[in-house]
Chains A and B, each alone.
Chain A
Amino acid sequence: MRFFIQLLIEGIEEGSVYALWALGYAVVYQVLGLMNFAFGDTLLLCLYLVTGLEVGFHMSPWIALALALVLAAVTSMFVERQIYSRFTNRQQLEAGFIAALACAYILRNIATAVWGQAPLAFPSFFGNSVYTIAGIKIASDGLIMLGIAIGVMALFGLYLRMTKLGRGIVLAGQDRQSAAVVGIPVRGIITVVFGVCGVVGFIGAALFANLFGGLNSTLGFYITFQAFIAATVGGAGSLAGSVVGGLLLGVIESLAVGYVSGNFAQALAWAAMAVLVLLRPRGILGRAQVERV
């Protein structure tokens, strides 16, 4: 039982980061219908920048982090404006998806061209101490990560609910044509969505890199796949679904590591997710999309 609770806590901690990734991915998907598979590699490039600035320019890691956060928003918006919009304006979503895959490689290659193929260390932002409570080991950095992730989700939720632009994002995500008809500036909103999702995703990516203390060039695709899977399991039409999907993915992974083997955990978790989607094709909290000819 103790072991189970231990795994559960670790799963929720990691799952909260997956939830941030899933949110960043799902909001774009909702508003645009585009599978943004450059999502993770955009964040990867920005993570490399944190390490690069700290090591190369002896910059304070917090300042490097802030710069990278801005870069995450700017790069996401730039890719949308300059590349995706050429496809999505014509409703060429499959072509846009291929373009996203190409962008993912370009962004990753920029990172490896500058910083090399070898794994890099990522600065540690909060020292770690481990507490034992009732026989359960709790690491402070995991808890801090969970706290920040919950905080970001709450702020993001408030932003979407309370601000005019946030409400515009939600409404455009439900029905883009109807949004245009009431005068919501859908084109501009899409660009804003990329920026905001870049920020939310980057916070998740930085928390993850901080926990593991390192970076390598495959992390981008890993982020993208985890986000895609969590969002799909949760229900891509629903933001609460992304959070549920992320937490579930984290917990299943953690249980698989604990009870089966670390080597197979990833495969087992993804297989479990595939079964879940098979059972609930729209996702756990998914809902029907508006279809209009």
Chain B
Amino acid sequence: MWVRAMTTDVSTASLLHLDAVSVAYGETVVLRDLTLSVAPGEVLAVVGPNGAGKTTLLNGIVGLASVVAGSVTYDSRNLRNMRPERAGGMGIAYVPQGRWLFPYASGTMNLWSGGYPRRDRRAVDRDVKGFLSRWPVAQRVSRRNANVMSGGEQQVVAIGRGLVAEPRLLLIDEPSLGLAPVLVEEVFRVLTEISGGLLEKNAAIILVEQNVNMALEIADHVCVLAAGEIVHDGRRGELPASQIGDLYLH
């Protein structure tokens, strides 16, 4: 009985709470019995080897993969198997692995698209301009189509698109994947600054990242995922980065 009471307690304090969740693509169940929460003003880093199910976790939250068991609660609403296009309207922004920019739309238009669910169009335009003037990388590609941007430029625009959504929950999947080290640093500079701004507004962030050191610089909480299960979940500093790596390197 009290276990149930505890979980209820946790879910009211958190912005997003997953309780005993299993996520599948069609018949293939990828994640089993996963429980985790993110509180407002908090960054949760999810790390783990390739194929662990990190992307599937985010897909399950936004409705791109199906939640076949358990419950997903966001802002005391049940998200289980919602349609992905509803996530934006609820303040959930997703920066997917591979970035998914609109290939034949300019940097500006890609940023603008992030604000689609918002009512106040002038505020969206202002946020787009603000992001462009703050980040020269984005400014350089404001008129260039996404399909001819470099990976780093695309990633910065993709993060900006998430920011323009004015999210209460921002999901970011492997922002450093496939980028040269200099660009990884640039992307993390953007991430650090925008996460600072978002956390001040009491939003929460889930950051999926292979680069454990970088992730730990931003995160409050770390969750290690391996083969569809959580093998470690704790506050930053409970385990040094090297040991987190050990948890899944062999």
Contact = CB atoms under 8 A, between A and B. Distances in A.
Given A164-B116, A167-B112, A184 B104 contact: no
A174 B147 CA distance: 11
Main SS of chain A's interface residues? helix
B103 A290 contact: yes
Interface string A164-200: 1001101100110111111111110000000000000
Interface of A: 164, 167-168, 170-171, 174-175, 177-187, 287-288, 290, 292
Interface of B: 62, 64, 83-89, 93-94, 96, 100-105, 109, 112-114, 116-117, 121, 161, 165
Contact of A182 (B83, B103, B104, B161): B161
Contacts, number: 68
Nearest to A290: B103
Interface centre among A168, A175, A287 (most CB of B within 10 A): A175
B103 A184 contact: no
A174 B85 contact: no
B24 to A, nearest CB: 16
Q: What 9 A-B pairs come out closest when comparing CB atoms?
A: A183-B88, A183-B117, A178-B100, A180-B85, A180-B84, A174-B102, A182-B113, A183-B116, A181-B94
Contact of B100 (A168, A175, A183, A187): A175
Nearest to A188: B85
A181 B104 contact: no
B104 A183 contact: no
Contact of A184 (B64, B100, B101, B113): B113
A178 B105 CA distance: 12
A186 B85 contact: yes
6 contacts: A174-B102, A175-B100, A183-B88, A183-B89, A184-B116, A290-B103
B62 A182 contact: no
A187 B85 CA distance: 9
A178 B116 CA distance: 12
Contacts of B85: 179-181, 183-187
Nearest to B121: A164
A178 B87 CA distance: 12
Contacts of A185: 85
A254 B107 CA distance: 42
